Amino acid sequence: MHRPVPKAFGFDVFGTVVDWRGGVIRDVTRFLAEAGHSAIDPAQFADTWRMQYLTAMAAYSASGRGFVTLDILHHEMLEGTLRRFGLNPASLDLQAIRDLNRAWHWLDPWPDAVAGIERLRSRYPVVTLTNGNIEMMLNMARRSGLQWDALLGAEVTRAYKPAPEAYLRTAEILGLAPHNLCLVASHHADLAAARACGLATAFIARPMEFGGAPPPDASEAQDWDWSFNGIDELAEVMASRWHP
Amino acid sequence: MHRPVPKAFGFDVFGTVVDWRGGVIRDVTRFLAEAGHSAIDPAQFADTWRMQYLTAMAAYSASGRGFVTLDILHHEMLEGTLRRFGLNPASLDLQAIRDLNRAWHWLDPWPDAVAGIERLRSRYPVVTLTNGNIEMMLNMARRSGLQWDALLGAEVTRAYKPAPEAYLRTAEILGLAPHNLCLVASHHADLAAARACGLATAFIARPMEFGGAPPPDASEAQDWDWSFNGIDELAEVMASRWHP
């Protein structure tokens, strides 16, 4: 089947482009050692922190709270995670907690990401479509050599995925009809919400995102417009389909 | 005097980075020829269009109107400009007017801009701090090979320069105290507003911005933190002052 080729690509970042788990485990390990709590498993701590994300997003949407950045939400989730592991945030060094919270700024891309995005960008506009805030995306990109055409997402649209405005406003900002923008993501729930808004969908398999464990949204898999094992494969296929 | 080195640079774009006048004259010339109005001077038309900008910004601020993009404001100013030259927009081809309005998406950088920004970016984060909207900046950058760390400005802050929020929100988004962000601009009025918010200021002389005529804000000149004849000079000085 020949699906229409998108005019631009919007990338989910955490999990799809960068290995959040590896980077967060690295910084959690150091934090726990320095705080004298090396008995806590850093991988379990990282997973607990991340798993609060879905709950926090739902609570955020329901709360009617004004827009706050993911850095702030991450900090709140981190305090919750510390408590879950029996640590009282108030008894710990605040600067150390703040530094740990910035683990999400310094994540490493998957091996295919930098070159894949560079190749895709040689033909198509490629932007972030992330719940991460701009400073986080900027730090991550400068550290790793990732290069985007624009850092779009929650801080620009003032809406967190999977809210429809997160996808629709991004398309509008780019001057595109929704079907001309393709969400690239390793998460079925994100792709499902984008498809419901009329966006094109490209799935990237990231079997190691949860350290080899099955992803929490495995049951939401659909027949996406495209499906790839890496961003290099996506770039290869879109290069062959490109007509200027 | 040794002024503290900024941590990041935010660039005004129209006039500072790209030659809006040359690009707009090019597209106006074609538009007028195709519309059968070659008797109108394209340079005068371009200047009239641009000069409506200051009035339009003031009217926009005073109106309490919700945020609209510069593309939309440009379209309104273009209709006003057509009327000033005795042309009724309703009698002209709407698609041709829309195409002309996008002249602002396809402007050429000044000769020093692409390499200067690339060099500056090798050490410092460099973003747009523009009243232009994201799609406009993205098109301009992809066409000309300009590369930014992020496209910031009115569409992200929801405030048009010279409103203080335009500068202060940009610093906040970048996680910087205002004095660590430097506005780079060829316009004294823009720099004055940034300085009033505590930003650092770098002036770039663009004597040809108005085709050699004096700029409308010449009387607002101050002793800016830095002053250069091009972005290459700025990059050179900041390279020598850099300490990681």
pLDDT 10s digits, A164-188: 999 999 999 999 999 999 999 999 9
Question: Is some CB atom of chain A closer than 8 A to the CB atom of B168?
Answer: no
Among B105, B130, B146, identify where a domain stops. B105
Determine, yes or no, domain membership for B2: no
Residue B157: give the domain boundaries: 8-19+107-241
A112, containing H or E segment:
none
Residue from the list A127, A135, A174 with its beta carbon closest to the beta carbon of B174 = A135
CA–CA gap between residue B54 and residue A4 (Å, rounded): 42
Contact B141 A149 (CB under 8 A): yes
* Same domain as A225, residue A114: yes
* Residue B94, CA atoms < 13 Å, CB-side half-sphere: 1
Quick check: A215 pLDDT over 60? yes
Of B133, B137, B175, nearest to A135 by CB-CB distance is B175
Q: Which of A151, A173, A175 sits opposite B150 (nearest CB)?
A: A151
Tokens of A115: 């070159």
Euclidean distance between CA atoms B146 and B153, whole angstroms:
16
Considering the domain boundaries, does residue B75 fall inside one?
Answer: yes
Q: In this structure, are B35 and B51 located in the same domain? A: yes
Q: Does B198 touch chain A (CB under 8 A)?
A: no
**Mean pLDDT, residues A117-146 taken together:** 98
Regarding whether A123 and A234 lie in a shared domain, the answer is yes
CATH number for the domain harbouring residue A145:
3.40.50.1000
Interface test with A, best of B72, B120, B124, B149 (most A CBs within 10 A): B149
For residue A150, list chain B residues with Cβ-Cβ distance below 8 A. Answer: 134, 137-138, 150-151
Judging by beta carbons within 10 Å of its beta carbon (0-12, 13-18, 19+), is residue A115 exposed, middle or buried?
Answer: middle
Q: Which of B149, B156, B174 sits opposite A141 (nearest CB)?
A: B149
Please check whether residue A1 lies inside any domain of the structure: no
Residue of A nearest to B68 (CA): A173
Q: Are residues A68 and A128 in the same domain?
A: no
Backbone phi and psi for residue A150, each to the nearest 5 degrees, phi listed first? -160, 150
Residue A59 pLDDT greater than 60, yes or no:
yes
* Domain assignment of residue B3, yes or no: no
Mean pLDDT along residues A197-224: 94
A135 to chain B, closest Cα gap in Å: 5
Look at residues A79, A95, A48, A1 and name the one whose alpha carbon lies nearest to residue A210: A48
- pLDDT value, residue B2: 58
Distance from the Cα of B62 to chain A's closest Cα (Å) equals 24
User: Under a CB-based contact definition with an 8 Å cutoff, are residues A67 and A158 in contact?
Assistant: yes
Do A146 and A237 belong to one domain? Answer: yes
- Do residues B155 and B60 both lie within one domain? no
Nearest-CB residue to A125 (from B142, B152, B173):
B142
Average pLDDT over residues A13-42: 97
Interface mutation target, options B148, B157, B169, B181, chain A, most CBs of A under 10 Å: B148
The reply to whether residue B155 touches residue A142, judged by beta carbons under 8 angstroms, is no
Q: Cis before residue B162, ω within 30 degrees of 0?
A: yes
Instruction: Using DSSP, state whether A33 is helix, strand or coil.
Output: helix
Tell me how close the Cα of A218 comes to any Cα of chain B, in angstroms: 33
Residues A210 and A166 in one domain: yes
- What confidence score (pLDDT) does residue A61 get? 79
CA–CA gap between residue B167 and residue B196 (Å, rounded):
10
Bridge-partner residues for A8, per DSSP?
A181
In this complex, do B155 and A173 lie within 8 Å of one another by their Cβ atoms? Answer: yes
CA distance B232 to B238: 10
Tell me, what's the pLDDT at A2? Answer: 58
Same domain for A144 and A95: no
DSSP, collapsed to helix, strand or coil, labels residue A165 as helix
- Using the 3D structure, point to which of B105, B130, B156 is the last residue of a domain: B105
Rg (CA), chain A: 18
Does A1 have pLDDT greater than 80? no
Burial (0-12, 13-18, 19+ Cβ within 10 Å), B216: middle
Spatial contact of A127 and A146, defined as CB atoms under 8 Å apart? no
Q: Does B135 touch chain A (CB under 8 A)?
A: yes
Q: Is B206 contained in some domain?
A: yes
Mutate to test the interface with A, among B127, B151, B170 (most CBs of A within 10 A): B151
- The CATH number assigned to the domain holding A25 equals 1.10.150.240
Strands B226-228 and A226-228: unpaired
Please say if the pLDDT value at position A53 is more than 60: yes
Number of domains into which chain A is organized: 2
A147 inside 8 A of chain B by CB: yes
Q: How far is CA B81 from the centre of its chain?
A: 19
A174 to chain B: nearest residue by CA? B135
- Nearest chain A residue to B126 by CA distance is A138
Q: Is residue A137 part of a domain?
A: yes
Distance CA B66, CA A166 (A): 19
Residue B144 lies in a domain: yes
Are residue A99 and residue A116 in the same domain, yes or no? no
Query: Given this model, what pLDDT does residue B126 score?
Result: 98
Q: Does A154 touch chain B (CB under 8 A)?
A: no
**pLDDT above 90 for A75:** yes
In a domain, A128, yes or no: yes
A69 and A159 in a single domain? The answer is: no
Average pLDDT, integer, range A105-133: 98
Residues in chain B within 8 Å Cβ distance of A68: none
Determine the pLDDT at residue B8.
98
The structure's pTM equals 0.96
Question: Tens-of-pLDDT digits for all 244 residues of chain B?
Answer: 458 999 999 999 999 999 999 999 999 999 999 999 999 999 999 999 999 887 888 788 788 888 999 999 999 999 999 999 999 999 999 999 999 999 999 999 999 999 999 999 999 999 999 999 999 999 999 999 999 999 999 999 999 999 999 999 999 999 999 999 999 999 999 999 999 999 999 999 999 999 999 888 889 999 999 999 999 999 999 999 988 7
Q: Are residues B113 and B207 in the same domain?
A: yes
Mean pLDDT of chain A: 95
Residue of A nearest to B154 (CA): A156
What is the interface size between A and B, counted as CB pairs within 8 Å? 46
User: B114 and B51 share a domain?
Assistant: no
B141's tokens: 């950058």
Of A57, A75, A105, the residue at which a domain comes to its end is A105
